[in-house]
């Protein structure tokens, strides 16, 4: 007999493996819709159960939220407890730092923190083993449903993207019928706090400007574009078919940055096809993957207002104290973000190198 989930008002079947195929991908997604897929039900029900069982470091209720005045429409949220209760970040010295089994890693979590294993049906290594990704709760959540996608945790990958990690990130967004489900990645030096390969996933019930931001082509055959809105970055776009092309192109880009010791943040969201003008439509049938190269931050450097990582670059601003939350302006946000972006000259040089390599 399954457990009753108050959040979804349905019976939840106990299951540790979530198996899917391409047929489970949701192709018709629009802003404002309230439908939920099989993936959404599993994640939302499981996450709610863990919250009600007291497995988080603090109880996350609906967060106080305001949209900053201005064309960027930044989403500011007050989450004081995350600033207080979050696990202390590991000491990071390089984008290419080796995995250290003595440090905290996701093989050391409590078994009850596991939501399920995400497994694509019939996808196997050459040796016959299935390629899986553990989905675990983030015990210091940013928003509802905040989880960690940990591909092949037993292989102890450092925090450097692999094709499987990128594929699982994109496919989890395709599995969701909710345009508010997003996935992101912080490299070492880009405010990753644990050197064990993982991505973040969570629900944010607000539209983000980057879903519709204009872009110009760099290498359209590789689905690669340049995001024109602030903060500018590399944009990949896919609607699901020929996903391997996008996955390999994303990994080629991030491998180039790792080789050059350039920190980076990645954000995956439902979005409109890239055009030179903003797309005002409500359709979100495709997936946008944005990669921002940035200046590295090592040690305990931290802005009083917020750290510039995957959320902040995407336009979602979690604040740790009320004063900053209530007084921050769009200009103030952009001033902080500019301090962490790769200078324009270095970005252009990197873009030329990427075009040559891809």
| Residue 330: pLDDT band with limits 50, 70, 90 | very high
pLDDT tens across 248-258, in order? 999 999 999 99
Nearest to 231, CA basis, from 158, 317, 153: 317
Q: Where are the beta strands (DSSP E) in 230-299?
A: 234-238, 263-271, 286-294
Note whether 284 and 270 are within 8 A (CB). yes
> What is the pLDDT, as a whole number, of residue 12?
42
DSSP 68-126: PSSTT--EEEE-HHHHHHSPPPPP---TTPPP-TTS--TTSS-GGGEEEEEEEEEEE-T
- By annotation, the residues acting in catalysis are 198
Contacts for 173 with CB less than 8 Å, ≥ 6 apart: 181, 182, 183, 268, 269, 270, 287
> Strand 10-12 to strand 3-5: parallel, antiparallel, or no bridges (unpaired)?
antiparallel
Q: What is the pLDDT of residues 102-113, one digit of tens each?
A: 999 999 999 999
What's the average model confidence in pLDDT over 230-253?
94
Q: State the average pLDDT over residues 127-137.
A: 80
CATH number corresponding to 3-357 = 3.30.428.70
Calculate the average pLDDT of the chain.
90
pLDDT at res. 2: 41
Neighbours of 69 (CB within 10 A): 10
Q: What is the mean pLDDT of the segment spanning 64-80?
A: 96
Three-state SS for 293?
strand
**Alpha-carbon 176 to chain mean position:** 14
pLDDT tens-digit series, residues 176-199:
999 999 999 999 999 999 999 999
Alpha carbon of residue 198 to chain centroid = 10
CA angle 271, 274, 279 (to 5 degrees): 70
Enumerate the domain spans of the chain. Answer: 3-357
pLDDT digits (tens, 9 = 90+) for 17-65: 999 999 999 988 988 777 899 999 999 999 999 999 999 999 898 999 9
- CA-based torsion, 133, 139, 142, 144: positive or negative: positive
Residue holding tokens 């890693």?
A: 105
- Quick one: CA torsion of 117, 121, 122, 124, rounded to 10 degrees? -30
End-to-end Cα spacing for the chain? 52
Q: Is the confidence at residue 7, as pLDDT, over 60?
A: no
Q: What does the alpha-carbon distance between residue 329 and residue 73 come to, in Å, rounded to a whole number?
A: 10
Relative to beta strand 130-137, strand 147-151 is antiparallel
Q: How many angstroms separate the CA atoms of 234 and 347, rounded?
A: 10
- The position carrying tokens 């995956």 is 268
Q: Rounded to the nearest 5°, which phi and psi values hold at 194?
A: -130, 130
pLDDT (0 to 100) of residue 101: 94
Residue 289 reports pLDDT greater than 90: yes
- pLDDT value, residue 318: 95
Lowest mean pLDDT among 83-87, 143-147, 232-236, 354-358: 83-87
Percent of the chain clearing pLDDT 70 (strictly above): 91
**What is the Cα–Cα distance from 304 to 319, expressed in whole angstroms?**
9
pTM of the model: 0.93
């Amino acid at each position: 007999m399954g457990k009753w989930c108050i959040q979804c008002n349905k019976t939840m079947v106990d299951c540790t493996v979530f198996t899917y195929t391409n047929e489970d991908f949701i192709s018709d997604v629009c802003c404002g819709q309230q439908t939920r897929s099989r993936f959404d039900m599993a994640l939302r029900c499981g996450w709610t159960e863990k919250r009600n069982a007291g497995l988080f470091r603090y109880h996350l209720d609906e967060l106080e939220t305001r949209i900053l005045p201005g064309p960027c429409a930044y989403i500011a949220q007050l989450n004081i407890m995350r600033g207080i209760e979050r696990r202390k970040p590991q000491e990071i010295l390089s984008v290419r730092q080796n995995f250290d089994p003595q440090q905290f890693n996701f093989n050391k979590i409590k078994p009850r923190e596991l939501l399920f294993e995400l497994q694509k049906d019939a996808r196997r290594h050459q040796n016959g083993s299935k390629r899986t990704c553990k989905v675990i709760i983030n015990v210091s959540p940013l928003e509802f449903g905040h989880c960690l996608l940990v591909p092949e945790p037993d292989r102890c990958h450092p925090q450097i993207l692999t094709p499987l990690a990128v594929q699982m990130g994109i496919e989890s967004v395709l599995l969701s019928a909710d345009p508010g489900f997003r996935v992101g990645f912080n490299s070492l030096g880009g405010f990753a706090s644990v050197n064990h390969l993982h991505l973040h996933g969570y629900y944010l019930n607000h539209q983000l400007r980057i879903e519709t931001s204009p872009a110009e082509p760099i290498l359209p055959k590789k689905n690669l574009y340049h995001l024109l809105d602030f903060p500018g970055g590399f944009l990949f776009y896919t609607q699901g078919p020929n996903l391997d092309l996008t996955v390999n192109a994303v990994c080629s880009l991030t491998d180039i940055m790792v080789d050059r010791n350039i920190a980076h943040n990645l954000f995956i969201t439902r979005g409109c096809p890239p055009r030179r003008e903003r797309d005002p439509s409500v359709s979100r049938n495709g997936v946008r993957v944005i990669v921002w190269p940035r200046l590295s931050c090592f040690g305990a450097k931290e802005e009083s207002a917020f750290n510039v990582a995957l959320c902040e670059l995407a336009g979602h601003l979690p604040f740790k104290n009320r004063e900053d939350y209530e007084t921050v302006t769009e200009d103030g946000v952009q001033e902080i973000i500019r301090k962490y972006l790769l200078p324009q000259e270095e970005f252009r040089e990197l873009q030329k190198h990427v075009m040559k390599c891809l």
